[in-house]
Structure 1
């Protein structure tokens, strides 16, 4: 009987773990600082189930399916959650208490230097928080847990340090597309041909407005923001914020932001939609779109979270 063959180029497992010890220590310090930050603001730390009947309604996230076997032999499909959002909102609605969680989450079919199939997500909720208030709190959190200036590793093409100790940039999506892509974005929403004409590019086979929007965001906007200091990208097109309120000042946009730093999306937040009829309509639309794109097999079949 022989054991598994390990390529000569692969260090023994104990050595690989030992090499990561400095990162593990730093991670522990960050987690301790995060908890201290929220404790000082009277947040309650919670822990919610990982295997749930409804893992989320994001159109493009794939999930891991499992099955619970009851003592009487009956079985129930469960899914590893893609975020703790739904369960945490139940706690928030029942208690009115600011809450946070360092949750393990899963996203199937992910794999790159910036995307993992399993990772730890920090999620927090504060009743009554506005978009501006959430951005202020996010800035304060990063200043509490990170050095004032982050130096980039040697050898990278981008050598500029990232400043955490200065006010973060705040750009609306419309401003970002106008500045970095030369596009008046909002009048094109839903019209792929119009967006392609404004961008001076050709539509790819099967590409709709949303596909092209994200292609331009990744190719032209994201590389240009958050290089010297983090940048909040705010007021997304309304179609790209299923759980967010529309902006009363411009209903074409939703009260959502993403935070970018050094080419990485660090955070995503929004003012919560609280209209149950509108929320159900959006969920139904997302479920229909997901089914049209990826089918409706058992890995995609779960009840709507009512």
Structure 2
């Protein structure tokens, strides 16, 4: 059996482990190099707790729920975090200025060649620096992973990306126009309010099928996934920048256009590797966005998650910062040419 045939229930067989072991050793070397990079730049490596009262408040992020039973025997609902973001921003409010975390996070309803219910996330923040600084970090990690493995190119499913090449920087609006023929900004008003019917009309005009659910956010995701993402990070890395404000609940808006925000994603080989922001620090605005996200989650999935009131209080004390989360397992995949995420995990979750 090869790494391309791995089944989550059989990872422990001696022959399969021997086949995967070089990839796992490369994973360890990449992790050590990243930790060294961060320490050399005065980052503190922190260890956020996985158990949280709120796992995050984005519509399409799904958490694992559990129950914490105290000494009095009364249960309190808790969640495994989908990101360490809330805890790390509390640490920024407490006075830290450069922090990073490399640890496990959990997301439900996610399993594919690129998704795993438990995975490793690298997340880091820089206080007082714009998000160009964390974009530079992201690109450095691409080259670092390639150097550690001796890879001249990153690879996934026949697609290649030169991690040493000058990256392409492309706004979301420009990407939609280039690859789907859609004028995305024309589907929003000047304050960033979205119009699902306007986006649906453009999709139909360009021969795309439109589902019954014509919410703008859902249609945006369809076009991004089907028409745009396959073209990103081909040959060289792509920094997909200036996300619509409606798709950037935790990012501040750009100074020149309220329709878009300081959010970017890094792509290589058509794979999204990192998601970063110029961080929103207005607690009232953040509460409004979270409430809107949870209302949409309730509409689509019939559930909502509580707000973390301590996090919202901490935002009032948090300084301006930039931050980013990077899928560490995906980075290892591309640097080693692994075909599935299970191939780079020491012990995949059984199905």
SS at structure 1 position matched to 2:266: strand
Residue 31 of structure 1: aligned partner: 31
After superposition, where does 1:91-170 map in structure 2 within 5 Å? 91-147=91-147, 149-150=152-153, 152=155, 156-158=157-159, 161-170=160-169
1:91-114: CA deviation from partner (whole Å, max 9, x where unpaired)? 111123200011200011111101
How far the C-alpha of 1:303 sits from its partner, in A, is: 4.1
Task: Note closer, same or farther for the CA distance 1:151–1:100 as it changes in structure 2 (3 Å cut).
Answer: closer
After superposition, where does 1:235-246 map in structure 2 within 5 Å? 235-246=242-253
How far the C-alpha of 1:12 sits from its partner, in A, is: 6.8
Q: Is the contact made by 1:99 and 1:124 (CA closer than 8 Å) also made in structure 2?
A: yes
Task: Note closer, same or farther for the CA distance 1:198–1:12 as it changes in structure 2 (3 Å cut).
Answer: closer
Match of 1:197 among 195, 201, 212: 201
Tell me: higher relative CO, structure 1 or 2? Use CA pairs within 8 A at least 6 residues apart: 2
Residue 87 of structure 1: aligned partner: 87
Task: Note closer, same or farther for the CA distance 1:92–1:19 as it changes in structure 2 (3 Å cut).
Answer: same
Aligned-partner Cα distance in 2 for 1:149–1:178: 31
- Number of aligned residues: 292
How far the C-alpha of 1:137 sits from its partner, in A, is: 2.2
Aligned-partner Cα distance in 2 for 1:99–1:46: 7
Unaligned ranges ≥5, structure 1: 1-6
Q: Is the contact made by 1:247 and 1:254 (CA closer than 8 Å) also made in structure 2?
A: yes
How far the C-alpha of 1:11 sits from its partner, in A, is: 8.2
Larger Cα Rg: Structure 1 or Structure 2? 1
After superposition, where does 1:271-286 map in structure 2 within 5 Å? 271-286=278-293
Aligned-partner Cα distance in 2 for 1:292–1:260: 31
Q: Is the contact made by 2:152 and 2:162 (CA closer than 8 Å) also made in structure 1?
A: yes
How far the C-alpha of 1:202 sits from its partner, in A, is: 4.0
How far the C-alpha of 1:54 sits from its partner, in A, is: 1.0
CA RMSD of superposed structures (Å): 2.0
How far the C-alpha of 1:83 sits from its partner, in A, is: 0.4
Aligned-partner Cα distance in 2 for 1:61–1:16: 32
SS at structure 2 position matched to 1:122: strand
SS at structure 2 position matched to 1:251: coil
Report runs of 4+ in structure 1 exceeding 6 Å deviation: none
Unaligned ranges ≥5, structure 2: 1-6, 189-193, 313-351
Q: Is the contact made by 2:30 and 2:144 (CA closer than 8 Å) also made in structure 1?
A: no
Aligned-partner Cα distance in 1 for 2:145–2:76: 41
How far the C-alpha of 1:157 sits from its partner, in A, is: 4.5
Please say which of residues 143-152 and 84-93 is displaced more in the overlay.
143-152
Aligned-partner Cα distance in 2 for 1:133–1:198: 36
Residue 306 of structure 2: aligned partner: 302
After superposition, where does 1:255-266 map in structure 2 within 5 Å? 255-266=262-273
TM-score of the aligned structures, taking structure 1 as reference length: 0.89
Match of 1:213 among 207, 213, 220: 220
